[in-house]
A and B are shown apart, each in its own frame.
Chain A
Amino acid sequence: MTALAEREAAGPARESEPGPRAGHPRADVKRSLSWLGLVPFFLFAFAFMLLPASSILVGSFQDAEGAFTLANLANLFRPSILNSYIVTIKVSATTALLGGLLGFLIAYAITLGGLPKPLKSFMSTFSGVASNFAGVPLAFAFIATLGRMGVLTVFLRTAFGIELYDAGFNLYSFWGLSLTYTYFQIPLMILIIEPALEGMKREWREAAENLGATSLQYWLKVGLPVLMPAFLAAFILLFGNAFGAYATAYALTGGLINLVTILIGAQVKGNVLHDPNLGYALALGMIIIMTACILAYSWLQKLSSRWVK
């Protein structure tokens, strides 16, 4: 109830109350305390978003002595650093698309395809766990499976005479890293897209069929457009998920692939390259790219979901 409504409701009763203005203070107190509920949010936003972001912003424009400089930002355009941004974006986009596509197909099989019930609930649980399985354990699991002496590598060699690494595969390369990321991207996609798929009414499909549409026509004109907002949201989430990843790549390639996060790590705690202010600038670059992504996303989202309530 708003303070005003509260006061009005209390109005007639006021006559009988002892204090002439008994209704007022209570309502005022209520109004003045209503912002209290927002405190945790603002504290959170301040401590975990505003504070780090502003210290990154400030640090980016300071040299080692704390004086103002543009050198850190200028350094971002060094070819090696530009290149690591490009590699990071490539890894993120590739794994978001690949994981997104595969995750969608699996989620489709779970929800709309005829996957048996027990398998369904297993997949949901598994996705929940696997989407969080990242970092050193994931890297180690992949090394143990697909590394030069990995179980699968050796098995393929001994059983079929296939030499993965001679065939051009390398776990410690761009595609090896992408493959490893895909491991947590797929289940994350499943988790995100499953509710959207559950929301697809069987009647839409049947109505389309009844009106003469083929399966393909249904998907092009109804299914995909309806899912598009969810796809966009999922892609951005997957992209961000890979964009900020650090430990997996570091443990897997030991810095062979210079992701931006690995560069930042080297500046902040490395003993050779130690330059925290360049690290701040690198992080600022990431924030800017992510912000641009989110802006592009909300614009596309608006376009693709005009029909949503």
Chain B
Amino acid sequence: MAFIELRDIEKSFGKNQVVKRLSLDVGKGEFVSFLGGSGCGKTTTLRMIAGFETPSAGSVKVDGRDMSGIAPNKRNLGMVFQNYALFPNMTVRRNIGFGLRIAGAKGAEVESRVDEMLGLIHMEEFAHRYPHQLSGGQQQRVALARAIAVRPSALLLDEPLSALDAKIRVKLRDDIRAIQQRLGITTIYVTHDQEEALSISDRVAVMREGRIEQIGSPFEVYNRPATPYVASFIGTLNLLSGAVADPSKGTLLVAGRELRSSGPIEAPAGAEVKLSLRPESLSIGAGQAGHNRIEGRIESVKFLGSVVRVVVETGGQRVFMDTFNDPSAPPPPVGSSVELSFPPEALKAGAAEAASEPERAAAAEEG
């Protein structure tokens, strides 16, 4: 049985319905992320679980217990907020011990639990500092320790890292995951950063306009996106247009070349369709027998660290290709002609609906 159970929950603010018949089961000890763009209802859903918002309809159950009518301070769910909600008038030690004291724990008991928590977040030497004397990353560690100290039945985190800079964000997210796994605590994590969601979650729930569009393991949502929206939201996606050649065989014409897609196409021959293609499925050269091949001119080469992103112009369309950095084989120079190849399974037809999204992603890449 699921540990956290959301059944058809809805939430409206006035006429504005922001969560729409959302259902979700989170297993005990599982780490689930809510991933989605701004305003899609992630925070609202999390706040309904925490009890700060009341669902307009539907039910929230935690550990088999119906939460409706139970005040937030009686739910025993740990919450970490986006903008460090540490109590400014208390030291780190006091902040972490707050919930324990409220629960009526005695001095020695509080102190030993606080020490344990300080060890967990590696901040023993900061115990006597006030929040304003800490960096953002340190404050979020303390907020995490404060939430965990009371042994909550589940942990709810609302974009806990979004106010931090990139390096600390990566370090801290790994720490959060490590602590979560060590304690085996059921966790819901809200983020709009897909890399973050993919890297630390057992499952990712991709949200859009108050609904869960797809939920699955990071591997599933990335490699088998259920909808064009999910495909475009997660990872970088090439969007091409082509004309259907043979719908039953799944072949198309792109820039004068016949390409094979992953399967039959639901459009008549000659129709213009959108095609999607992950940058990492492309490689330079002719590739294996049966692979699709396109030719183009290298427009730019971007070095992203372990990955090199090559932008190739082919028949008036622009294609991103990601390859691993290879010190012995520098990418071909800008302006030269290349042949690219990719397996037919990587080419998916019929992504027309999501046209605007990846274009935006592509524009962001450019900038």
Contacts and interface: CB of A to CB of B under 8 A. Distances in A.
Contacts of A212: 73-74, 76, 99, 102-103, 150
Contacts of B130: 306-307
B67 to A, nearest CB: 13
A65 interface: no
A307 B88 contact: yes
Interface in A214-273: 214, 217, 221-222, 225-226
A210 interface: yes
A211 interface: yes
A255 B74 CA distance: 59
B90 A207 contact: no
B87 A210 contact: no
A203 B89 contact: no
A209 to B, nearest CB: 5
Interface extent on B, as a size class?
Answer: 20 to 34
B6 interface: no
Interface in A67-114: none
B90 A307 contact: yes
A309 B132 CA distance: 7
B79 A207 contact: yes
B85 interface: yes
A308 to B, nearest CB: 8
A208 to B, nearest CB: 7
Given A206-B72, A206-B79, A211 B102 contact: yes
A210 B79 contact: yes
B146 A211 contact: yes
Contacts of A208: 87, 98
A201 interface: yes
Interface in B33-87: 50, 52, 71-79, 81, 83, 85-87
B163 to A, nearest CB: 12
A64 interface: no
Nearest to B98: A211
A213 interface: yes
A201 B85 contact: yes
Interface in B143-158: 143, 146-147, 150
A204 interface: yes
Contacts of B87: 204, 207-208, 221-222, 226
B81 to A, nearest CB: 5
A213 B81 contact: no
Interface string A263-291: 00000000000000000000000000000
B150 A211 contact: yes
A204 B87 CA distance: 6
A301 to B, nearest CB: 14
Residue of A206, A222, A308 with most chain B CB atoms under a 10 A cut-off: A206
A201 B85 CA distance: 8
Nearest to A213: B102
Contacts of B103: 212
B81 A203 contact: yes
A305 B81 CA distance: 25
A217 B77 CA distance: 18
Nearest to A228: B89
Contact of B50 (A210, A225, A226, A309): A210
Contacts of B77: 210
Nearest to B71: A209
A204 B81 CA distance: 10
A225 B50 CA distance: 26
Interface string A181-213: 000000000000000000001011011111111
Contacts of A306: 130
Contacts of A211: 73, 98-99, 102, 146-147, 150
Given A203-B83, A210-B78, A210-B79, A226 B73 contact: no
Nearest to B77: A210
Interface in A125-152: none
A209 B72 contact: yes
Interface string B91-123: 100000011001100000000000000000000
B298 to A, nearest CB: 46
Contacts of B131: 307
Contacts of B91: 307
Nearest to B74: A212
Given A203-B81, A203-B83, A307-B132, A210 B73 contact: yes
B79 A307 contact: no
B89 A213 contact: no
Contacts of B150: 211-212
A68 to B, nearest CB: 52
Contacts of A209: 52, 71-73
12 contacts: A201-B85, A203-B83, A204-B85, A204-B88, A206-B50, A208-B87, A210-B72, A212-B102, A212-B103, A214-B73, A221-B87, A222-B87
Which 10 A-B residue pairs are closest in the complex by CB-CB distance? A203-B85, A211-B99, A207-B85, A307-B130, A225-B89, A210-B79, A209-B72, A212-B102, A203-B81, A209-B73
